[in-house]
Amino acid sequence: MKNEGEMMEAFGYLSYYYMMNNNFNRSKDYYVRMINLDPSSKENKIKGYVGIGSVEMRSTSTEKTNEGRLPYLSRATEAYNKILAIDPMNASAKSQIAYIHEFEASIKKGINPNEIKGIITNKTGQPLPYASIRVKDTAAENLSNSKGEFKFEIPQGSEILIISAKGYKSQEIPITKLRVYNVSLEQ
C-alpha cells in the first residue's frame, strides 16, 4: 500500500496524543485503523493491539473504584492475547499479560466479597435511620445511620438478610452476588 509507513506513523502519533489526553475512545479508533490498514500485515496488527492494550491499561488510572478497573484490565488482556494469536512467541505480550494478572489479583484482594452496603427507606423514599440489618441465623447485625445507609461485613456463606425498623414490616432478602442492597420497608 502506498504511504503505509507514513499512515502508520500518523496513526501512531494521533493515537498516542489522544491517549495522553485521556481521550481513550479516540485513541483506540486510531489503533483500530492501524490494525485494519493492511489486513495482511501482521506487524501493523501487532502495533495496533499493543496500542489498544496500552490505552486500556492507562484507562485504569482514571477509574475511581477497584471494581471499575477490572473491565479495562480484561480488555487489555484480550488485546495482548490477540497479539499472541498472531505471534505466539511475543515476549512483550506475554510479559504484559503476566503483569495484568498480578494487577488483577492485587485489585481483587482489595475487593471484599463479604462486604455489603445499601440504604433502607420507607415506601415514599425517605431514609429510615437506625433500621436493623441482620444476617438470619447469625449474630451479625448492623444498624443504618441517620441517612438510612449501612455498610458491613457479613459471614461467608450467609443466605438471608432480615431488614426491620420500628413501626415497619420486616423483610427477608436473599443474599446474592450483589453487594448493594437498597430496601424499602412498608409500615
User: Quick one: cell of 102?
Assistant: 498480578
List, as one string, the DSSP characters of 78-121. HHHHHHHHH-TT-HHHHHHHHHHHHHHHHHHHHS-TTEEEEEEE
What is the predicted pLDDT for the residue at 156?
A: 78
Quick one: which of 129, 136, 121 has its CA closest to 185?
121
What is the predicted pLDDT for the residue at 155?
A: 84
User: Quick one: cell of 25?
Assistant: 475512545
Strands (E), the chain: 115-122, 132-135, 141-143, 149-153, 160-164, 171-174, 183-185
DSSP for residue 180: B
CA distance linking residue 75 with residue 157, whole number of Å: 31
pLDDT above 70 coverage of the chain, percent:
100
**Least confident stretch, 43-52, 124-133, 170-179:** 170-179
pLDDT interval class at 144 (50, 70, 90): very high
Q: What is the pLDDT of residues 95-126, one digit of tens each?
A: 999 999 988 888 888 777 788 899 999 999 99
3-state secondary structure of 138: coil
pLDDT interval class at 2 (50, 70, 90): confident
Give CATH 2.60.40.1120 domain extents, the chain.
115-185
What is the predicted pLDDT for the residue at 143?
A: 94
Predicted structure pTM score: 0.62
Mean pLDDT value of segment 128-148: 93
pLDDT higher than 90, residue 167? yes
What is the predicted pLDDT for the residue at 54?
A: 94
Give CATH 1.25.40.10 domain extents, the chain.
4-110
Quick one: which of 5, 28, 16, 4 has its CA closest to 76?
28
Residue 133: beta bridge partners?
Answer: 142, 163
Quick one: which of 91, 84, 96, 7 has its CA closest to 44?
7
User: Quick one: cell of 129?
Assistant: 435511620
Please, is 15 exposed, middle or buried when counting C-beta atoms within 10 Å of its C-beta (0-12, 13-18, 19+)? buried
pLDDT interval class at 66 (50, 70, 90): confident
pLDDT higher than 80, residue 148? yes
Say which CATH architecture domain 4-110 belongs to: Alpha Horseshoe (1.25)
Quick one: which of 167, 166, 164 has its CA closest to 183?
164
Q: What is the pLDDT of residues 6-57, one digit of tens each?
A: 999 999 999 999 999 999 999 999 999 999 999 999 999 999 999 999 999 9
CATH annotation of 115-185: 2.60.40.1120
